[in-house]
Structure 1
Amino acid sequence: MVTNIYVGNLPFSASEDQVRQMFEAYGQVNSVKLINDRETGRPRGFGFVEMDGGAAEAIQALNGADCGGRTMKVNEARPRERRERW
């Protein structure tokens, strides 16, 4: 079963490879996607990791861990709430 994990409060300098390496210590990582601002293309400081196994262990171990001087927030991703456009 694939688990989608939210990873927040990342330093803007973090790369997908760095995030992948952190999570691979706990299991198979299927994908890493760091989110960039649509207008500027600059990193927004959060992303998502998909894992097959070891997701619960990764969440427990990495939530609150230091990454580049910032305390990461790591939890299971929730579905995005739909927003109405005007």
Structure 2
Amino acid sequence: MKVGFIQCTVISAIFAIAGYLLFSSASIEAHVPLTVSASLLISGILTPWLASLLNNSPSETAAPSTSSTTTETLYVGNLPYRANESAVKEYFGSFVEVQSVRLMKDRKTGKRKGYGFIEVITSDLDPVIAKTNDSVFQERTLKVRPAKDKVEQV
């Protein structure tokens, strides 16, 4: 079971309330801001620990994957602007095991830019590129290449 943002927020709120009740009901004379701060500190320490325990449950790690665990990233250009991550993942999933999809958006408008990056689980990109480059997806001819490493600016 993967623990997401909402679950971590709920867990954090439970720890914060429990900490507040613990500090406020104790015989310690403390002001409200102090008890709230202490309970939030406790929840900030315990929540990531509990989330990491839940995310690494043995039921998920018990079944080893039969596919290669090497991940590679593909650049995909000329994507339709209406395409979403799940549609792209489904399309490429018929060719290779897809780990994640990131479609780029304009920061100001929030509209898609027509390209993205797909992280796939494979040790050899050549067959995937051969099958998907110049293929038609939602009436657009895709351009698929190995993604270049992002260069850090100094």
TM-score range, shorter chain: 0.7 to 0.9
Q: Which residue of 2 aligns with 1:61?
A: 131
Is it true that 1:42 corresponds to 2:130 in the alignment? Answer: no
* Structure 1 CA distance for aligned equivalents of residues 118 and 133 of structure 2: 13
SS at match of 1:78: coil
The whole-number CA distance in structure 2 between the counterparts of 1:77 and 1:55 is 10
One-letter code aligned to 1:18:
A
* Higher normalized strand content (fraction of residues): 1
Quick check: which one's helix share is greater? 2
Please give the secondary structure, in 1, of the residue aligned with 2:130. helix
- Unpaired segments of 5 or more residues in structure 2? 1-69
Q: Distance in 2 between matches of 1:25 and 1:3?
A: 17
Q: Which amino acid aligns with 1:40?
A: T
TM-score, with structure 1 as normaliser: 0.85
Structure 1 stretch displaced more, 48-57 or 58-67: 48-57
The match for 1:7 is 76
Larger radius of gyration: 2
Cα RMSD over matched residues?
A: 1.8
TM-score, normalised relative to structure 2: 0.50
How many residues get paired? 84
Structure 1's unaligned 5+ residue stretches are none
How much does 1:67 deviate? Answer: 1.6
In 2: Cα distance, 1:4 partner to 1:50 partner: 4
